[in-house]
A and B are shown apart, each in its own frame.
Chain A
Amino acid sequence: MDTVFEGEIRYRQYLSSQGDPLSALPVWAQQPEWLTHCYRNMVLARTMDNKAVALQRTGQLGTYASLLGIEGIDVPLGLLMHPEDVLIPYYRNHACQMLRGMPMEEILLYWGGDERGNAAEQQGEDFPNSVPIATQSMHACGVATALKIRNEKRVAVTLCGDGATSKGDFLEGLNVAGAWQLPVVFIVNNNQWAISVPRALQSGAPTLAQKAIGAGIRGEQVDGNDAIAMREAIEIALERAREGKGPSLIEAISYRLSDHTTADDATRYRSNDELKKAWEHEPVKRLRTFLHKQGWWDETQETIWQDEVNSMVQSAVERYLATPPQPVESLFDYLYAELPEQLREQREWAMVKAMKGGTHHES
């Protein structure tokens, strides 16, 4: 029999877990500017994340999905996407959202149970967080179709987890992206767990990147804890999509360093040993070590930046906590472009009930 197809998935990594180059670095990585900028934003993201978890623990935020462990993926992505590109995120991409201009207090507002956290004007045409797993993959293809039809040099970028790749939605997205050669980039944050279900139980395929092969698109696996490798992979994928050369799938290997959300307790299903090992590979320390070794960053800079970041986060938290809830009529006011006559009465009741003396008055 003849071989009619052969496929291959390659793994991209530049930095060892100890922050040492494993091969010649790209030219841009031989300069401090971009990487220190990237590092600063990773620290900012992590500081925001710590604060958000603390807010949840003290009853000041709702169930929150921590970004711990995704910094090496989201920060390079946020820095590399063009403002006019479209982000179609899942629920763990706050770091990328921040870099696309979304104020931190809006992110907190979202996780504080307020729809206005989906409404920041800085989000432009970006999608709100997708909570129903993997549905966003096809929305990204729809966005990309619009961009393609209009001949625009813009890219749709969508992210999801390893668990999400099991859903038809994800595979259907890959398929149409390949069939139509859409300007879309799929990034899978393979953090090894989908709540309690380990990566190995999701698929018999040894890599998730190889799902691209079945869809006829490019796929590669990247060390998601290595910001340099992530920039390379993302830049190539964005450029190709922008130039009409088709979609890509990037499987970024990372690790969920947090519980699934603040509602979860990961000690029920994964070992402390595994978690401790994962911390040895984490993205922020890896980049910091590299920067230190290059002489591009030192302890003094670290302290100054950490102070600055703390106060940025603190003032965002204050703005968040000072945001009063929406009025009850907001339940009705964004349902349709114009409220149908039929709903006016319910809107009135809702307002009356929320008034002093009403059954739903909250002081």
Chain B
Amino acid sequence: MNHEAITLLEAVNLALAHEMEQDENVVILGEDVGTNGGVFRATAGLKERFGNRRVMDTPLAEAMIGGLTVGMAAQGLKPIAEIQFMGFIFPALEHIICHAARMRNRTRGRLSCPLVIRAPFGGGIHAPEHHSESTETLLAHIPGLRVVVPSSPARAYGLLLSAIRNPDPVIFLEPKRIYRASKQPVLDNGAALPLDTCFTLREGSDITLVSWGAMIKETLEAAEQLAEDNISCEVIDVATISPLDMDTILASVAKTGRCVIVHEASRHLGVGAEIAATLVEKALMDLQAPPLRITGYDTVMPYFRLENHFMPNTADIKDAVRQTLEFV
């Protein structure tokens, strides 16, 4: 059993291997996932271990990958498709949205689509054009889908296990900026973490910081630094952005009265907007200041030379916290 400190990327690999071992219906498909073990190495060693009938290098075609997973899943397989970068998921969306997300509903439960689509996303690694966007909100808007974003090796392992075991389609978005950013011991014991629920990463009393994915790193950093000034931040990792666990966030804000939401994606209609709207609807009386959002701009994700301007940073989060605390 594995107690080693591993990266988020290795945790993904570990969860995939674990489920392939447990359930022979689990199969992996995608571009470069076999011999190459994925361009980020998320599927490294799996083809060697489980064979090319279960780990399939596909032709280069995302619509086909999306469509294949629908067909496979309806047959009782548990396909895990890798989309090489989230920026290339769009051809598959017709299959995800028009079929995977509604197969159960359309057939009143006769057929279903227990599939996982994994895709690395987000900026900060100086990647080529179209390789750095955070468009999770497009998927989070689709009824019938689950959208899950891990923010640490342990959560990547536990949430991916749940995603694979889940009877419905799950989009599993991997924040590639923190693929190798830090290591954490992960026990390979097959223990899943729950979907549809937030994780409180740090308790605090003055303000609630809500984020997910790679931005958790800056959010925790901000909380750490603000603690030196006696500002006590509660940090919540949303983890499943759809369906969204507002209960945890509402309970926290009932305690702190203030909230800053941090995401890398553009602001307009981002998941932050949904959280803020729900806070206003359900917790107006708890709020001592308007919820603030720290987000990317409503611009095209800049090509990498300017990408740092687009990405929120720790200082932005600290500024927003202070602004919220100063609100009277």
User: In the complex, are the beta carbons of B35 and A196 less than 8 A apart?
Assistant: yes
**A158-188 vs B, Cβ < 8 Å mask (1 yes, 0 no):** 0000011011110000000000000000000
Q: Report chain B residues within 8 Å CB of A164.
A: 60
Q: Report chain A residues within 8 Å CB of B34.
A: 196
User: In the complex, are the beta carbons of A325 and B305 less than 8 A apart?
Assistant: yes
| Stretch from A2-10, A247-255, A300-308, A354-362 contacting the other chain | A354-362
User: In the complex, are the beta carbons of B57 and A196 less than 8 A apart?
Assistant: yes
User: In the complex, are the beta carbons of B305 and A112 less than 8 A apart?
Assistant: yes
**Shortest CB distance A166–B (Å):** 4
Instruction: Tell me the complex Cα distance, A125–B289, Å.
Output: 51
**B295-310 vs A, Cβ < 8 Å mask (1 yes, 0 no):** 0011110111111111
User: In the complex, are the beta carbons of A63 and B302 less than 8 A apart?
Assistant: no
User: In the complex, are the beta carbons of B126 and A63 less than 8 A apart?
Assistant: yes
For B91, give its contact among A114, A168, A263 (CB under 8 Å).
A168
Interface of B toward A, CB cutoff 8 Å: 31-32, 34-37, 39, 57, 59-64, 87-88, 90-91, 126-131, 267, 297-300, 302-310, 313, 315-316, 319
Instruction: Tell me the complex Cα distance, A359–B317, Å.
Output: 10
User: In the complex, are the beta carbons of A114 and B305 less than 8 A apart?
Assistant: yes
Which chain B residue shows the least CB distance to A270? Answer: B35
List 26 contacting pairs A-B, 8 Å CB cutoff, sorted by A: A63-B126, A63-B128, A91-B128, A113-B304, A114-B303, A114-B305, A115-B302, A115-B303, A131-B87, A131-B129, A131-B130, A132-B87, A132-B90, A194-B60, A263-B39, A325-B306, A331-B309, A332-B297, A343-B298, A346-B297, A346-B299, A350-B309, A359-B315, A359-B319, A360-B309, A362-B308
User: In the complex, are the beta carbons of B36 and A268 less than 8 A apart?
Assistant: yes
Given contacts A195-B36, A197-B31, A360-B309, whether A202 and B59 have CB atoms under 8 Å apart is: yes
Which chain B residue shows the least CB distance to A351? Answer: B309
User: In the complex, are the beta carbons of B130 and A132 less than 8 A apart?
Assistant: yes
User: In the complex, are the beta carbons of A331 and B310 less than 8 A apart?
Assistant: yes
Q: Report chain B residues within 8 Å CB of A113.
A: 126, 303-307
Instruction: Pick the most buried of A131, A168, A196: most chain B CB atoms within 10 A of its CB.
Output: A196
Report if A328 contacts B (CB, 8 A). Answer: yes
Instruction: Pick the most buried of B91, B127, B128: most chain A CB atoms within 10 A of its CB.
Output: B128
Report if A1 contacts B (CB, 8 A). Answer: no
Instruction: Tell me the complex Cα distance, A167–B91, Å.
Output: 9
Instruction: Tell me the complex Cα distance, A311–B36, Å.
Output: 38
**A276-287 vs B, Cβ < 8 Å mask (1 yes, 0 no):** 000000000000
Q: Report chain B residues within 8 Å CB of A330.
A: 302, 306
Report if A322 contacts B (CB, 8 A). Answer: no
For B39, give its contact among A91, A133, A166, A264 (CB under 8 Å).
A264
Report if A27 contacts B (CB, 8 A). Answer: no
**A110-126 vs B, Cβ < 8 Å mask (1 yes, 0 no):** 00111100000000000
**Shortest CB distance B56–A (Å):** 10
Report if A58 contacts B (CB, 8 A). Answer: no
**A327-338 vs B, Cβ < 8 Å mask (1 yes, 0 no):** 010111001000
Q: Report chain B residues within 8 Å CB of A201.
A: 57, 59
User: In the complex, are the beta carbons of A269 and B35 less than 8 A apart?
Assistant: yes
User: In the complex, are the beta carbons of A133 and B303 less than 8 A apart?
Assistant: no
8 further contact pairs, Cβ within 8 A, besides A202-B59, A326-B305, A350-B297: A113-B126, A131-B128, A197-B36, A201-B57, A346-B267, A350-B309, A353-B309, A360-B309
Q: Report chain B residues within 8 Å CB of A69.
A: none
For A196, give its contact among B36, B91, B316 (CB under 8 Å).
B36
Given contacts A331-B306, A359-B316, whether A63 and B127 have CB atoms under 8 Å apart is: yes
Report if A246 contacts B (CB, 8 A). Answer: no
Report if A203 contacts B (CB, 8 A). Answer: yes
Instruction: Tell me the complex Cα distance, A350–B309, Å.
Output: 7
8 smallest beta-carbon distances between A and B, as pairs: A196-B36, A166-B59, A113-B304, A359-B315, A163-B60, A113-B305, A331-B299, A131-B130
Instruction: Tell me the complex Cα distance, A201–B57, Å.
Output: 8
Q: Which chain A residues in 36-95 approach chain B with CB under 8 Å?
A: 62-63, 91
Instruction: Report whether over half of chain A's contact residues are helix, strand or loop; otherwise say mixed.
Output: loop
User: In the complex, are the beta carbons of A335 and B299 less than 8 A apart?
Assistant: yes
Given contacts A167-B91, A195-B31, A331-B297, whether A354 and B126 have CB atoms under 8 Å apart is: no
User: In the complex, are the beta carbons of B297 and A195 less than 8 A apart?
Assistant: no
Instruction: Tell me the complex Cα distance, A196–B126, Å.
Output: 22
Q: Report chain B residues within 8 Å CB of A168.
A: 61, 63-64, 91
Q: Report chain B residues within 8 Å CB of A354.
A: 309
Instruction: Tell me the complex Cα distance, A203–B298, Å.
Output: 40
Given contacts A269-B35, A326-B305, whether A132 and B88 have CB atoms under 8 Å apart is: yes
Which chain B residue shows the least CB distance to A111? Answer: B128
**A194-211 vs B, Cβ < 8 Å mask (1 yes, 0 no):** 111100011100000000
Q: Report chain B residues within 8 Å CB of A326.
A: 305-306
Q: Report chain B residues within 8 Å CB of A268.
A: 35-37
User: In the complex, are the beta carbons of A269 and B128 less than 8 A apart?
Assistant: no
Instruction: Tell me the complex Cα distance, A76–B284, Å.
Output: 68
Q: Report chain A residues within 8 Å CB of B129.
A: 129, 131
Instruction: Pick the most buried of B37, B60, B302, B315: most chain A CB atoms within 10 A of its CB.
Output: B60
Which chain A residue shows the least CB distance to B266? Answer: A346
Instruction: Tell me the complex Cα distance, A163–B32, Å.
Output: 11
**A125-147 vs B, Cβ < 8 Å mask (1 yes, 0 no):** 00001011110000000000000
Q: Which chain A residues in 256-291 approach chain B with CB under 8 Å?
A: 261, 263-264, 268-269
Q: Report chain B residues within 8 Å CB of A91.
A: 128
Instruction: Tell me the complex Cα distance, A115–B59, Å.
Output: 30
Instruction: Tell me the complex Cα distance, A166–B65, Å.
Output: 11
Which chain A residue shows the least CB distance to B90? Answer: A132
**Shortest CB distance B302–A (Å):** 5
User: In the complex, are the beta carbons of B298 and A133 less than 8 A apart?
Assistant: no
Which chain A residue shows the least CB distance to B88? Answer: A132
Instruction: Tell me the complex Cα distance, A129–B299, Å.
Output: 20
For B299, give its contact among A203, A263, A325, A332 (CB under 8 Å).
A332
Instruction: Tell me the complex Cα distance, A353–B316, Å.
Output: 9
Instruction: Tell me the complex Cα distance, A345–B287, Å.
Output: 25
User: In the complex, are the beta carbons of A359 and B128 less than 8 A apart?
Assistant: no
**Shortest CB distance A244–B (Å):** 32
Instruction: Tell me the complex Cα distance, A294–B63, Å.
Output: 50
Given contacts A132-B130, A350-B309, whether A203 and B59 have CB atoms under 8 Å apart is: yes
Q: Report chain A residues within 8 Å CB of B128.
A: 62-63, 91, 131, 261
